[in-house]
Amino acid sequence: MCGSFNQFAGDPDMSAPITQDVLTIPRKLPEGGRVNIVGLTRDQLREAMIAAGTPEKQAKMRVGQVWQWVYHWGVRDFAQMTNLAKDYRALLAEAFEIALPEIVSRQVSADGTRKYLLRIAGGHEVETVYIPEEGRGTLCVSSQVGCTLTCSFCHTGTQKLVRNLTPGEIVGQLMVARDDLEEWPVPGAPRDETRLVSNMVLMGMGEPLYNFEGVRDAMKVVMDNEGLSLSRRRITLSTSGVVPEIARTAEEIGCLLAVSFHATTDEIRNKLVPINRRWNIQALLEALREYPRLSNSERITFEYVMLDGVNDSDEDARRLVRLIRGIPAKINLIPFNEWPGAPYKRSSWERIEAFADIVHKAGYASPIRTPRGEDIMAACGQLKSATERGRKSRAEIAAEAAG
């Protein structure tokens, strides 16, 4: 990738050649071919490397070395891992691969937002969006192909085909974006302090808490500070309200939390975010009250999509601040992003501002999220791969919105 990677030569820790006995150990090749390294946790990688013939006593160090090549330097070819003995590199190449989702298409918006359509195993497609901002850049990552939930204002919710993404496919989205942005460090070059992908939001396709283990393991890899090293405070997971997994998110991931709140009565929330029929507003708020303490994070982001005449009255704004009283919070108002066949309209700017004003006066930050990448259908809730196999009809969407 970036010339020769021999900067560790001479460092005893990093360049210790493996002893010949590695190669005499019978190696079990995994059934079904080579194991993809991307997305394995350190423990999983260690086990896989031992299974491939790495002596147990060396495994930890080898994991550290490979980890750094893959996740710090962005190397894809074992031959470039110059602090490993040649034979050992060959052994790794036989047992492992370093594989990422394939870019099917890349669209760049007039505002610089980039939307990637990625192909993953099984021929499925998911979308990832990169949003450059002043002094930072956010990658919006998908956690599932489609979504099993059917929020009536969300384009992804109209997509029938669903499977969980593997940790490798989640981590792979970040690595693909770093490839495209040419953001891997160049050996010897001074470190650039402002990272192009400085933040990550799990706000793409899918409900991350319905893929809990996949997301958790992926975030372990992404947060590891000898690799991609995004801190947990730069990762925001957005959930529609999978209440039983909220405490686990605090304990096992510890990232920032956003919640798709969107309504102030159960009646309206049942229609907009149908998971509310299972865990209602009160149950959700109880789980949220615990989150800042359990995760040692400051505040929760309440996402609130502004739908004309549905949830955007002054009364809604006042009810909202009453409901969340006592929870350290920021309220992110999202102007509804329209999509073909959507059963709602975006609230007017005056309405959104009036709503924001009430929330603000009650003491909460209430930023209005600027829609980004609308011209390429990359804005919140617009993601849906055009090549999906099943599609709901307008009538189905309307029926769900009404029901």
User: Annotated active-site positions, please?
Assistant: 127, 380
First to last CA, the chain: 54
Contact 242, 289 (CB under 8 A): no
| Exposure on the CB side of residue 183, measured as CA atoms within 13 A | 18
Residue 234 binds which entry of ligand SAH, ligand SF4, none, with Cβ cut-offs from 5 to 8 Å by kind? none
Instruction: Name the residue nearer to ligand SF4 (CB basis): 58 or 150.
Output: 150
- Tell me if residue 146 falls in helix, strand or coil: coil
Q: Which of the choices ligand SF4, ligand SAH, none does residue 46 contact, using the CB cut-off of 5 to 8 A by kind?
A: none
Residues in contact with ligand SF4 by CB under 6 A are 147, 149-151, 154, 156-157, 206-207, 240, 260
Pick from ligand SAH, ligand SF4, none: which does 334 bind, CB < 5 to 8 A by kind? ligand SAH
* 288 to 327: interface string for ligand SAH, x by CB under 6 A: ---------------x-x----------------------
C-alpha 330/C-alpha 302 separation (Å) is: 6
- Tell me the two tokens of residue 331: 């309220």
The least distance separating ligand SAH from the CB of residue 241, rounded to whole angstroms, comes to 8
Q: Does residue 366 interact with ligand SAH by CB under 6 A? A: no
Residues in region 46-105 near ligand SAH by CB under 6 A: none
Query: Smallest distance, Å, CB 284 to ligand SAH?
Result: 12
| Helix orientation angle between 349-361 and 314-323, rounded to the nearest 10 degrees | 30
Task: Kindly state whether residue 337 participates in binding ligand SAH, applying the rule CB under 6 A.
Answer: yes
Measured between alpha carbons, how far is 372 from 113 in angstroms, rounded to an integer? 7
Read off the tokens for 190. Answer: 């001074």
Out of ligand SF4, ligand SAH, none, what residue 337 binds, judged by CB under 5 to 8 A for its kind, is ligand SAH
Q: What letters, b where the CB count within 10 A reaches 16 and e where it falls short, cover 56-69?
A: eebbeebbbbbbbb
Residue 142 binds which one of ligand SAH, ligand SF4, none, with CB within 5 to 8 A depending on kind? none
Name residues whose C-beta falls within 8 Å of residue 116's C-beta, 6 or more positions apart in sequence.
103, 105, 106, 127, 128, 129, 130, 173, 176, 177, 180
Tally Cβ neighbours within 10 Å of residue 7. 13
Measured from each CB, the residue nearest to ligand SF4 is: 157
Q: Are 307 and 344 in contact (CB under 8 A)?
A: yes
For ligand SAH, the closer CB: 78 or 153: 153
Say whether residue 276 binds ligand SAH (CB under 6 A): no
Q: Rule CB under 6 A: which residues touch ligand SAH?
A: 151, 153-155, 203, 207, 238-240, 260, 303, 305, 334, 336-337, 380-381
